[in-house]
Amino acid sequence: MKVAFSLMIHNSDDDRVAYQEAAALQRAGDEVSVFSAYEQKEKSREEKSEWLLQQLVEYQPEVIVCDTPIAVKIAYKVKKKIGKQVRVLYDITEWYPSKKNLRNVPGLKKIVRAILLTFASLLAGFLADGFIFGEYYKSLPFKVLFFWKSSVMVSYYASKEVVKQIEPKATLQEECVLYYSGNLTKEKGYNRVVSVAQRVATLRPEVSFKLRIVSANKSDEMVLPDNLKIDSAGWMSFPQFCETVGEGDIYMDLRDNDVENSHCLPIKLFYYMMAGRPIIYSNLKAIQKGVPEFDAIGCMSEPDDEEKITAFILKCVDNPNFYRQLCQNSLNLSSQRYNWENIENQFVKFIHNGI
C-alpha cells in the first residue's frame, strides 16, 4: 500500500510520525513518504499549501494521513484529482482552536479567529474518511459529530526500542537529579519546578541536587543553595532525548492545569514511564483518564502545592525502598501496557483496512 503523511505543523522527523507510524507501515511492507510543508520555511502559507498539493498529486498515494484541518482540505483536493480510491485520515493530536492559535490576538479578532478555527476543524471532520485519535478528550467532538466514520485510538506511548534503559540508583541520599523538559515559561510551570528544587535542596543540605533542564530556551541566572546546580542540556533531538532521559532520577512537569492543559495528555509522560522513574505532574484530567494507575508511579498534584510535591521528593530521597518500588512500577506499567508495540498492529490494520 502507498501511504503519504501530509504535515503542516510537524517536521518530517516528528517522533510520532517518523519513528512510530511511518516506521510501522514500512515494517509492514508499505511504501511510505512524509511530506512536511512546515519545513518549507521560505514559502508563504499559500505556497506551502500549493507545494503540499503538488507533492501528493505526484506521489499518487492510496492513503493520506493529515495532521491539521488545512492538511485534510488539501488531501481532499488530491482525492478529487486522482480518484475516490484515496482515503483521507485525520490524525488528531491538537485542539482547534487552542491557546497558541489565539495568543497575542486582540479582542474581537480573537473571537472571530476562534470561530473560524472551530469551523475549520469541523470541516476537516466532514471531509476526512476516518480518524486517528491520540487521546480520549480530543476524540470526543469527532466521535459525537461524525459517529459513523471509522476511527482508531493510537495514543502517545513510547517504544521499548527507542528509550535507553538505565538502572536507577540504589539511593538518592548522596545525589538526586531532578529533570524538566519543555519551555521555560510560567504557563509550563518552569518557575514552580525551580522553586521546588530550591526548597528540597534547602531541606536536605547533605544531598547534592541537580536540576537538569532540556529546553531550547536559556535559563535566567538565579541564586541557588550551595547543594543545587542547574544543568542546562539545551535542545535535544528525539534520539538524543531517548538516549539520555534515563539519566534523571525524578521527573517534574508542573504546568498550569487550566481547561486546555487539563484535557491534553502529555506525550513526555510515556517516555518518562519507559525510562522507569517516579514522575510528578500537575493534576490533569487527561492523565487521570489515560493512566488511571498514576498514583503507583508518582505524584499528581495541584501545581502550586509545593508542600505536597516537596514531601514526595523527600520521601523518595529518604526512603530508598519507596523510590525503587516507584521505579519498578513505572517500568512495569510501560513495558506491559503503555508501549507502542502493544498498539502498532492496531494502527497498521486501520491504515490497511479502515476498521
Residue-range domain boundaries for the chain: 2-157+340-353, 175-336
Task: Supply the pLDDT for residue 100.
Answer: 87
Beta bridge partners of 324: none
The class (CATH top level) of 175-336 is: alpha beta
With contact defined as beta carbons under 8 Å apart, do 250 and 278 qualify?
Answer: yes
Please tell me the predicted confidence (pLDDT) of residue 107. 84
What SS3 class is residue 230? strand
| Per-residue pLDDT reduced to its tens digit, 51-61 | 999 999 999 99
Low-confidence ranges of the chain (pLDDT < 70): 355
CB-based burial, 201-219: b 16+ in 10 Å, e otherwise: beebeebbbbbbbbbeeee
The answer, yes or no, to whether the previous bond of 266 is cis (omega within 30 of 0) is: no
> Rounded CA gap, 110 and 103, in Å?
8
Say if residues 338 and 273 touch (Cβ distance below 8 Å). Answer: yes
Q: What is the pLDDT of residue 231?
A: 94
How much is the mean pLDDT over the chain? 95
Q: Please give the C-alpha separations between residue 179 and each of 237, 259, 266, in angstroms, as whole numbers.
A: 17, 25, 15
- How high is the pLDDT of residue 315? 98
Burial class (CB in 10 A: 0-12, 13-18, 19+), 262: middle
> Is the fold of 2-157+340-353 the same as that of 175-336?
yes
d(CA 264, CA 22): 23
pLDDT digits (tens, 9 = 90+) for 141-175: 999 999 999 999 999 999 999 999 999 999 999 99
CATH code for residues 2-157+340-353: 3.40.50.2000
